[in-house]
Amino acid sequence: MAAAPAPPRLGAVAWLRANLFSNWSNTVLTLLGLFLLVRALPPLFDWGVAHAVWGAADPDVCKAASGACWAMIHEKYRLILFGRYPYAEQWRPLLGLVLLVVMIGLSCNRNAWGLRLAEAWGAALAAWLLLMWGGVAGLTFVPNNLWGGLPLTLILTVIGLAIAFPLSIFLALGRRSRMPVIRILCRVYIELIRGVPLISLLFMASFMLPLFLPTGVSIDEVLRAQVAIILFSAAYLAEAVRGGLQAIPKGQHEAAHALGLSYWQAQRKIILPQAIAVAIPAIVNIFIGLFKDTSLVAIVSLTDLLLAMRQAIADPQWRRFFVEGYVFIALIYFVVCFFMSKYSQYLETQFRSGQQR
């Protein structure tokens, strides 16, 4: 008797068999998934592409169409992206965004990391804020209550992280310090902040703080929200960094000590580089969370991307098409978060290869 031919090990059929139809439960799930896709995709395609209204169009044209109304985005995209920033000056936030993307592009290369890059970031952030504010070099002054949309979201995120991250390292070190006062202070701070939601911090900054200041003295509203975001994310980042610190074996500390390194030298040259490498997934997680959390500032009436979109759809002519608006900003959020998560995966493999060597 000749044995039945062995199942193929290569090719599409083999892949399908191994991955999608390996046993009956997988087969059922695969078929179910296919069924749902077949049911969901064509209507979605019809709505979003085939029957959609593209380019500039009258709201009445959209009303008559059965598909999505991308004309709404066409009409309102500048309000959504830049909020109430003066219309004629919106090239400035746009240029700022380009600058930011270039800086992020440069920073993706690990070999470029160093003091130089940090300086470049400092300069870029300063240039960005200068561009937004104006008031020099012939740029008209734009008070920050007019900032809005994507630039505001990114400013809150990037500046929040740029300040919170170093702060969190000190907090993490402080929490593990041998000096009781510092340890207790850091601990109280971290636990207090972690014990309240970001939204209540924003409420405090936005509602309570002004009441304790004399009438007429007011701290800039964007700054108040920014400080709340920094304080909040620093506490969370500190815990992520502490996780990294605890993963470093005691031998590393002792070895650094034996070499005659001071506390700060040991932290800087030996402990922190390893600890932060370990903590990268957790840190990026917090970065992504923070980027999305900035949309909470809409509660205190800062026109971030989300609130700018809501303002755009408050127009009764276009408010029937709010789904399109939400899809549009969801895409923006997705692109940024997806990039961050992919980049953190890349970093992880980079660091792991270092350890395996």
Partner 1 sequence: MNSTIRTDIQEGIAMRNMSRYVCLFIAFTVVVLAGTAHAGEVLDAVVARDSVRCGVSTGLAGFAIADSTGNWTGLDADYCRALAAAVLGDGAKVTYVPLSPQQRFTALQAGEVDLLSRNTTWTLTRDASLGLVFAGVTFYDGQGFMVPKDLGVQSAEELDGAEVCVLTGTTTELNLADYFRANGMNFKPVVFESLEESVTAFLNGRCQVYTTDRSGLAAILASDAPNPDDYVILPETISKEPLGPVVRRGDDAWFTIVKWMVYALIEAEEKGVTQANVAAMMDSQDPVIQRLLGTSGDMGQKLGLSNAWAVQAIQAVGNYGEIYDRNVIPIGLPRVGSNRLWTNGGLMYAMPLR
Applying CB under 8 A, the residues found at the interface with partner 1 are: 63, 75-76, 78-79, 82-87, 143, 145-146, 200, 203, 206-208, 210-213, 215-216, 218, 221, 299-301, 303, 307, 310-317, 319-320, 322
Residue 171 CB partners (closer than 8 Å, separation 6+): 186, 189, 190, 234, 235, 238, 241
Please, what is the minimum distance in Å from the beta carbon of residue 221 to partner 1?
A: 8
Please, what is the minimum distance in Å from the beta carbon of residue 220 to partner 1?
A: 10
Please, what is the minimum distance in Å from the beta carbon of residue 206 to partner 1?
A: 7
**Closer residue to partner 1 (CB): 78 or 253:** 78
Of 201, 195, 191, which Cα lies nearest the Cα of 239?
Answer: 191
**Closer residue to partner 1 (CB): 61 or 106:** 61
Please, what is the minimum distance in Å from the beta carbon of residue 60 to partner 1?
A: 11
Angle formed by the axes of helices 149-175 and 70-82, to 10°?
50
**Closer residue to partner 1 (CB): 53 or 240:** 53
**Closer residue to partner 1 (CB): 90 or 177:** 90
Cβ pair 59, 317 in contact under 8 A: yes
**Closer residue to partner 1 (CB): 202 or 266:** 202
- Write phi, then psi, for 76 (nearest 5 degrees): -110, 5
Distance CA 168, CA 174 (A): 9
Please, what is the minimum distance in Å from the beta carbon of residue 96 to partner 1?
A: 17
Cβ pair 349, 280 in contact under 8 A: no
Distance CA 91, CA 8 (A): 59
